Structure 1
């Protein structure tokens, strides 16, 4: 066990070096969310934010990660899998102990490792489709199986009833996976036809029916909110807010005394507050849209000195994530525009550094070829439109500490689709 823990520490250090976000001990919640997305993009496997927080010691957990999680971390670090990661270190140690006349060979292996580091992600993406379902058996036919889902209610939390037919599975290795997160995979009886799962957060998920290592069926599953949902992040299950807690005086705002009444401390680690509205308006195509709102982070004490804030536009694909902070903390920001990711460590995101003592207007809109992002009416950055027709299905605002939102407007082809406050 100690040697395995040491290897996990070594793998985490490699990932930290690759990301160049600073020590993992200083990461914020948004960093773990961005890391989860990067791992998914890089390896085709999703590790949940809660799993990554456990691995980096933010949540007490006295067990080693699963083999799937270890393999995924190793792949993201630039190795074929966990076994290859361990073997590479062993090989390197062996070569160091060999006679000096074999130093050239060690140098070549070192160069090979560096090349694997640089090109590993591309190789994984290129080969994942070849090997993802190769379990040594003939591929099963999707048409021999069925899989559907239905939420029980509208709102969060929400249980979803999955209906499936996997009676033709060759063995009992039949699983239903709630989303892209492998940790939310449950073994089910192939001779039964119903299974329920609970969702604690809203969004668009990819539910999967898996037999062995093969994804047989999958579909998009929208878990909506019933109007606005206010939450405070609290490990596995959020703290849910009453509408009267955060909807007041014509704006979205959660006062610090209300947070304190729920026995949630503001220090030393500030809470993460989110206001979400998902699935309550007609989907809006990114090909011709306009979005704007005004936002203010209302807490800047202790560890919340950066006032990290983000606006998320949920889509039926990868979301849009617009980050904000005080001017001195823009290095900590990470921006996501569906299929484009920008780290403040490697790009100039200074336009997203703001003064939260005043309301900040954040907007974005598309033209015939690009999506443009504005802060206080000044263009901050732009990206090409996604090739596919991606549609906005929800909005969320997240604050380190707490914050306020007003004047939310979302339109399509110059017609208002959603308006609040």
Structure 2
């Protein structure tokens, strides 16, 4: 395993994040990076693991291939092997010998060394100056800028037209960022006024206008669905389903035959099937809700033996994601509780383990200070209520392979706000 290539990959991620010198990242930065990586790759690399990889904690071992595959995927590469193949041309620090060439004189060698030292010192000074300038951006007056958006349609995919006024920017560093993910940041012309972006997935986003590396405007953006939306995860564009393919009279279910009909193989790695309903009911406060649903995994052959499923409550802030799996796989689960990610590596998630492929009832509700999660009417976990006010605006269901959903009910206090099947 190539330590130089690992360092190259970390540098690429640092540039994409644009969070400044990684040596000055705080614990919260690594926690945020953990969340970003999970949202993009569905793999959790703990904050402590990330601190070790970035050399903030002494650790004498190289990262595992799984960890490197995840980091490469987060950076936009298919996997670690593809990354290393594409970066073969990177120059490795090495001593090169000119075999058969006359040995240089001592005087010439000294002159060469002095020249190299001068260049190195100049580079160090320039780097320090650049770092200082980078860390000391001039304050930007957010009132001098405007930012708004308009979705083109209610279907998915959906193009969004962003309108902005950034002509007073002191530099050409004006960006529009589609979401929480810094990698969706796009450089725009400060003298123009419109930019468009395509959203291939529904959900809650926070679009940002960034000037000279400072967020000057931030807007909540709900990408809604026209009723229920079904899709199969695929890069770069998901495979969208016709409603008739997965909506039945008493449930949502995508048969295996329907997946194979789209030339998507179930082996060796099963696809991810997703169902969404966003922006079609009155938002429900997270502080006063109850929710229940029944789900069933529809495929558990080969690599799908863990029967991974996820029930999601999409909020206008951080979502709630309730994981389920076969009992023997609960260590791999990760739960989002509206503000933090909780890892099954450090928490007893045995309550989220299921015995078979039968229907599983999942219930989630708020109390005065907590959110409680039940599986088949047994308390599986509870978390602290987020301090920030937020509302449930959508529902999401994810299955490894395929799955079924029925008996959906979302309530505020004792009033039913949304139900289906």
Query: TM class by shorter-chain length?
Result: 0.7 to 0.9
Larger mean Cα displacement after TM superposition, 255-264 or 326-335: 326-335
CA distances 1:162-201 after superposition (whole Å, capped 9, x unpaired): 0000111122221111112222111111111111111001
Cα distance in 2, alignment partners of residues 203 and 133 from structure 1: 37
Over the residues paired in the alignment, what is the CA RMSD in angstroms? Answer: 3.2
TM-score (norm 2): 0.73
User: Aligned to 1:57, which of 79, 85, 106?
Assistant: 79
Deviation at 1:218, TM superposition (A): 1.2
How many residues were matched structurally?
A: 336
Deviation at 1:34, TM superposition (A): 5.1
1:248 aligned counterpart, secondary structure = coil
Report what 2:196 is aligned to: 196
Cα distance in 1, alignment partners of residues 391 and 132 from structure 2: 28
Report what 2:120 is aligned to: none
1:168 aligned counterpart, secondary structure = coil
Deviation at 1:52, TM superposition (A): 1.5
Report what 2:140 is aligned to: 140
Cα distance in 2, alignment partners of residues 132 and 393 from structure 1: 43
Runs of 5+ consecutive residues of structure 2 not aligned to the other structure: 14-36, 55-69, 88-130
Cα distance in 2, alignment partners of residues 4 and 401 from structure 1: 37
Report what 2:389 is aligned to: 389
Deviation at 1:236, TM superposition (A): 2.1
Cα distance in 2, alignment partners of residues 327 and 157 from structure 1: 36
Report what 1:238 is aligned to: 238
Cα distance in 1, alignment partners of residues 40 and 332 from structure 2: 8
Deviation at 1:4, TM superposition (A): 3.5
Say if 1:133 and 1:213, in contact at 8 Å, map to a contact too.
no
CA distances 1:317-354 after superposition (whole Å, capped 9, x unpaired): 11111000011111111111112432111111001001
Deviation at 1:136, TM superposition (A): 3.2
Say if 2:312 and 2:397, in contact at 8 Å, map to a contact too.
yes
Deviation at 1:9, TM superposition (A): 7.4
Deviation at 1:137, TM superposition (A): 3.5
- When residues 384 and 276 of structure 1 are mapped into structure 2, their CA distance, relative to the original with a 3 A threshold, is same
- When residues 173 and 7 of structure 1 are mapped into structure 2, their CA distance, relative to the original with a 3 A threshold, is closer
Larger mean Cα displacement after TM superposition, 50-59 or 134-143: 50-59
TM-score (norm 1): 0.73
Say if 1:177 and 1:207, in contact at 8 Å, map to a contact too.
yes
CA distances 1:242-272 after superposition (whole Å, capped 9, x unpaired): 1011112321100000000000000001000
User: What pairs up with 1:167-246 in 2 under 5 angstroms?
Assistant: 167-246=167-246
Cα distance in 1, alignment partners of residues 184 and 238 from structure 2: 17
